[in-house]
Amino acid sequence: MTAPGLHELPELPLAASPSYRALGERVAGGLEDGDPAQHVAVFAEHVAELAACGATDEFDAVFATVESVLQQADAVVQRHVGRFFLGMLQLAARRRGVPLERFEVWLGPRAREEWAAASELHAAVRAAYAEHYHLPGR
């Protein structure tokens, strides 16, 4: 795989996850400016839904693509895939009641680092909200 640029980011989920094709094409048709971040967010929701349904057959390819991008792409693309995709995936999985540990088997070394950083960020945000809004037990 050659290092993808930001404009190629929307194509990666289509190649790694055949079950995403119809949804991805529908999303692409609804985007005004082809913003890759929107594709990444929708794909994170898709992967979380697959995990919630126990349909993990595509996860080897999905997370191999994630790891490859994290190792080869430029910093902007790495940020979209690392912090944004993996962070969105964590949030989407939590909303669906999917334990985050379920994904760990598929995470490569770079993805594992990004996953931990996203988890730390989410924990800090939850703690700040709990303190600010005086939420019990958060």
Write the DSSP assignment of 85-129 as a string of letters: IIHHHHHHHHHTT--GGGGGGG--HHHHHHHHHHHHHHHHHHHHH
Note whether residue 138 is domain-resident.
Answer: no
Task: Count the domains in the chain.
Answer: 1
Q: What is the pLDDT of residue 64?
A: 95
In a domain, 1, yes or no: no
Residue 13 confidence (pLDDT): 86
Convert the pLDDT of each residue in 35-85 to its tens digit: 777 888 889 999 999 999 999 999 999 999 999 999 999 898 898 888 889
Report the pLDDT averaged over residues 9-33. Answer: 79
- Domain of residue 60: give its range: 6-132
pLDDT at position 90, please?
96
What pLDDT score does 31 carry?
62
Q: Give the integer Cα–Cα distance in Å for 100 and 118.
A: 12
Residue 47 lies in a domain: yes
Q: How far is CA 85 from CA 80, 90, 119, 135, 137, in A?
A: 6, 9, 12, 28, 28
Cα–Cα nearest to 36, from 14, 51, 61, 16: 14
Portion of the chain with pLDDT greater than 70, in percent: 93
Average pLDDT over residues 112-135: 86
How many angstroms separate the CA atoms of 122 and 124, rounded?
Answer: 5
Q: Is residue 32 part of a domain?
A: yes
Residue 84, in any domain of the structure: yes
Domain-located, residue 107: yes
Higher pLDDT, 136 or 81: 81
